RNA sequence: GGCCUCGUCGCCAAGUGGUAAGGCAACGGUCUGCAACACCGUCAUCACCAGUUCAAAUCUGGUCGAGGCCUCCA
């Protein structure tokens, strides 16, 4: 089955056929760098990170461009507030963005252009739009004339008359149509500016993305992504600018990810309910955040809450618990070269089949508009099957099960990697979750280890009263003791 | 007001015509000195109403409810 994806332009899923066979060109709107990124940015970037990874996994040569918009009103205002230059401010937040994305385990895009490095291309686009009669100069500003572009609003499927009813004209703007938008703005004193045929000025919002995407990917490319909120006006305007200039179709597939809500409310600065990525990473493991985000379909809204994050952590731990157990077992019992198995019962047969078909099912899910939530469901089923092989301990009689276990773990890691998951060393990852949970509590790992040692002696003396006291005492403080053949370990509730 | 989504078990979440994946929680078992992990088992007719169809969570119409965009926004 071929990859199908939901194209906002078509309003439905379509089969993915790249412009050039075997290659994919993809542009995703990055961030305006004037503040730290929040969980919404994390979602958008993780979603497209997975698109990027999956396309590569599917065998495409992918060129992925994600930009920085480093010239904008908000940047100028924020820089003025802080008494630093726009350049200093944007560089600071570009660094912060990269730190955040690295922490979240995102792969680097092929290109990460900055708007200010593309001023000549922007000026060129604006000039061509004027030549073609799609833009006009007005008092040093240049506006795009939306009435001159017949396809305007085709992406957001709005109606011009309805839009006009609610539109407002900002004071001082001399537009032919209130819907016209700025391509170039005259610089006010003290603002960053570049010279142009229309005087000193700077680009408007939207034009930078047309310039960067077409410069790096050509006039037409395959996938353009971003948050749902960018459909109008940002992407609508990009289409107008780009197709207005080249006369060619700009983008073949438009992909938009859904929003993040906070405790069932829209996340917004006015409500004060947004979290930056760094705040979240103080509390949650980056892989837990990623796991949480991809257990929902990328177009659905997702609710960010402590409960949901905690559940994600439990779910992800389940994978790492299996990987740990399997790694340990396989280290003790290497898979023999001859793997006979005199009798295979039905339940074993079923597990073998499940592992055999795992990759196929995973691909089937991901091919259906990147249905990672379904793909993860298949991975969970594989976990249950493999845990069962381990629990049944029939490896001596049936080495084939050992081979299946080894194969299953390998597949889990390979497919997990497509989602950016399971890349950590299991024991270390699980250990990290434990120590992270202790922070701020009264217990330390040393105290716990000391109590475990005392309990070990008590159990050796068959003093189960004291043994149970220790278990209960730690339990009351949220620590659970786990006895096994190899000794006692602990974990947090 | 215009446009657009969505409403599936206590919670999260797949499923867009063929008879409801998966995870968490809960309950009953196996294992355990007791536990935990793990495993086995139990646990939904899909907001409501009407219609189309041999067949609907899936299509159509309506009702109720939630949310988003229309202004900067991932």
Q: Please report, rounded to whole angstroms, the spatial distance between the CA atom of protein residue A22 and the C1' atom of nucleotide B12.
A: 37
- CA A34 to CA A74: how far, in whole Å? 7
10-residue mean pLDDT profile of chain A (493 residues): values are 83 88 95 92 93 95 96 92 94 96 96 96 96 93 92 85 63 76 91 93 94 96 92 93 95 91 74 84 92 90 87 91 92 83 82 91 90 92 93 86 93 95 91 73 76 84 84 78 76 69
Return chain A residues 301..340 having CB < 7 Å to nucleic acid strand B.
301-303, 307-308, 311, 314-315, 318, 321
Q: Please report, rounded to whole angstroms, the spatial distance between the CA atom of protein residue A229 and the C1' atom of nucleotide B45.
A: 36
What distance lies between CA A42 and its chain's CA centroid?
Answer: 6
- Comparing CA positions, the residue from A192, A231, A177, A237 lying closest to residue A72 is A192
Return chain A residues 392..451 having CB < 7 Å to nucleic acid strand B.
none
Return chain A residues 43..82 having CB < 7 Å to nucleic acid strand B.
43-44, 74
DSSP line for A184-252: EEEPPTTS--B--TTSSEEEPTTHHHHHHHHHHH-SSEEEEEEEGGGIIIIIHHHHHHHHHHHSS--EE
Return chain A residues 173..232 having CB < 7 Å to nucleic acid strand B.
205, 226-232
Q: Please report, rounded to whole angstroms, the spatial distance between the CA atom of protein residue A11 and the C1' atom of nucleotide B61.
A: 22
Which pairing describes strands A251-257 and A221-227: parallel, antiparallel, or unpaired? parallel
Return chain A residues 284..303 having CB < 7 Å to nucleic acid strand B.
295-297, 300-303
| Residue A166 neighbours by CB distance under 10 Å | 6
Q: Residue A469, CB, less than 7 Å from strand B?
A: no
Q: Please report, rounded to whole angstroms, the spatial distance between the CA atom of protein residue A296 and the C1' atom of nucleotide B20.
A: 19
pLDDT score for A11: 80
Q: Which helix (H) or strand (E) holds A136?
A: strand A135-138
Q: Please report, rounded to whole angstroms, the spatial distance between the CA atom of protein residue A423 and the C1' atom of nucleotide B34.
A: 36
Residue A268 half-sphere exposure, CB side, CA atoms within 13 Å?
6
pLDDT score for A22: 95
Q: Which nucleotide is nearest to A315 (CA to C1')?
A: B23
pLDDT score for A431: 83
- CA A226 to CA A206: how far, in whole Å? 13
Q: Please report, rounded to whole angstroms, the spatial distance between the CA atom of protein residue A84 and the C1' atom of nucleotide B73.
A: 24
First to last CA, chain A: 43
Q: Please report, rounded to whole angstroms, the spatial distance between the CA atom of protein residue A391 and the C1' atom of nucleotide B41.
A: 17
What is the predicted ipTM? 0.89
Nucleotides on strand B with an atom closer than 7 A to protein CB? 1-5, 11-16, 21-25, 32-40, 67-74
The domain defined by A301-426 carries CATH number 3.40.50.300? no
Longest dimension (CA), chain A: 93
Return chain A residues 115..144 having CB < 7 Å to nucleic acid strand B.
none
* A434 neighbors A493 (Cβ within 8 angstroms): no
Domain ranges of chain A: 4-257, 301-426, 441-492
- CA A325 to CA A320: how far, in whole Å? 8
Q: Which nucleotide is nearest to A472 (CA to C1')?
A: B35
Q: Which nucleotide is nearest to A206 (CA to C1')?
A: B72
Q: Please report, rounded to whole angstroms, the spatial distance between the CA atom of protein residue A227 and the C1' atom of nucleotide B62.
A: 33
Q: Please report, rounded to whole angstroms, the spatial distance between the CA atom of protein residue A167 and the C1' atom of nucleotide B1.
A: 13
- CA A57 to CA A37: how far, in whole Å? 28
pLDDT score for A4: 86
Q: Please report, rounded to whole angstroms, the spatial distance between the CA atom of protein residue A305 and the C1' atom of nucleotide B48.
A: 30
- CA A309 to CA A295: how far, in whole Å? 11
pLDDT score for A395: 87
All residues at 6 or more sequence positions from A71 whose CB lies less than 8 Å from its CB, including other chains: A86, A90, A115, A116, A192, A202, A203, A208
Task: Report which residue is nearest nucleotide B73 when distances run from CA to C1'.
Answer: A229
In the block, residue with structure tokens 């350049």: A87
pLDDT score for A172: 53
Q: Please report, rounded to whole angstroms, the spatial distance between the CA atom of protein residue A268 and the C1' atom of nucleotide B68.
A: 13
Domain made up of A4-257: CATH architecture: 3-Layer(aba) Sandwich (3.40)
Task: Output the CA torsion sign for A219, A224, A226, A232.
Answer: positive
Q: Please report, rounded to whole angstroms, the spatial distance between the CA atom of protein residue A374 and the C1' atom of nucleotide B20.
A: 15
- CA A77 to CA A83: how far, in whole Å? 10
Q: Residue A11, CB, less than 7 Å from strand B?
A: yes
Q: Please report, rounded to whole angstroms, the spatial distance between the CA atom of protein residue A492 and the C1' atom of nucleotide B52.
A: 55
């Amino acid at each position: 089955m071929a990859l199908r994806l939901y194209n906002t332009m078509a309003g439905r899923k379509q089969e993915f056929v790249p412009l050039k066979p075997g290659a994919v060109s993809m542009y995703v709107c990055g961030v305006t760098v004037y503040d730290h990124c929040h969980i919404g940015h994390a979602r958008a970037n993780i979603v497209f990170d997975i698109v990027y990874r999956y396309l590569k996994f599917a065998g495409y040569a992918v060129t992925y461009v994600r930009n920085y918009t480093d010239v904008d009103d908000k940047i100028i205002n924020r820089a003025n507030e802080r008494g630093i230059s726009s350049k200093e401010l944007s560089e600071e937040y570009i660094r912060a963005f990269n730190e955040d994305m690295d922490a979240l385990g995102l792969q680097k895009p092929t290109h990460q252009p900055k708007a200010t490095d593309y001023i000549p291309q922007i000026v060129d686009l604006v000039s061509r739009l004027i030549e073609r009669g799609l833009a006009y100069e007005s008092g040093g500003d240049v506006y795009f004339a939306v009435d001159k572009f017949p396809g305007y609003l085709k992406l957001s499927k709005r109606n011009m008359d309805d839009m006009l009813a609610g539109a407002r004209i900002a004071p001082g703007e001399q537009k032919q149509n209130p819907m016209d938008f700025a391509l170039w703005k005259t610089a006010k004193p003290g603002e960053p500016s570049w010279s142009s045929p229309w005087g000193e000025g700077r680009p408007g919002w939207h034009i930078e993305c047309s310039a960067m995407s077409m410069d790096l990917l050509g006039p037409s490319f395959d996938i353009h992504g971003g948050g749902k909120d960018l459909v109008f006006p940002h992407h609508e305007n990009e289409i107008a600018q780009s197709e207005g200039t080249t006369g060619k179709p700009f983008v073949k597939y438009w992909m938009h990810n859904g929003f993040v809500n906070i405790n069932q409310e829209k996340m917004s600065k006015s409500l004060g309910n947004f979290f930056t990525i760094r705040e979240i990473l103080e509390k949650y493991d980056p892989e837990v955040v990623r796991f949480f985000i991809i257990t929902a379909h990328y177009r659905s809204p997702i609710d960010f809450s402590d409960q949901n994050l905690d559940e994600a952590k439990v779910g992800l731990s389940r994978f790492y618990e299996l990987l740990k157990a399997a790694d340990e077992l396989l280290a003790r019992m290497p898979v023999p070269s001859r793997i006979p198995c005199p009798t295979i019962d039905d339940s074993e047969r079923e597990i073998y089949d499940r592992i055999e078909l795992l990759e196929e099912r995973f691909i089937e899910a991901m091919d259906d508009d990147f249905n990672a939530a379904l793909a993860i469901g298949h991975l969970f089923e594989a976990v249950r099957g493999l845990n069962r092989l381990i629990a049944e301990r029939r490896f001596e009689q049936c080495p084939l099960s050992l081979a299946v276990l080894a194969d299953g773990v390998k597949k889990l890691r390979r497919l997990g990697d497509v989602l950016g998951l399971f890349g950590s060393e299991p024991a270390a990852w699980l250990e990290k979750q434990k120590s992270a949970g202790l922070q701020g509590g009264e217990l330390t790992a040393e105290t716990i280890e000391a109590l475990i040692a005392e309990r070990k002696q008590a159990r050796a003396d068959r003093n189960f009263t004291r043994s149970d006291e220790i278990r209960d005492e730690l339990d009351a403080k949220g620590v659970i003791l786990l006895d096994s053949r190899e000794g006692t370990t602990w974990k947090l509730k």
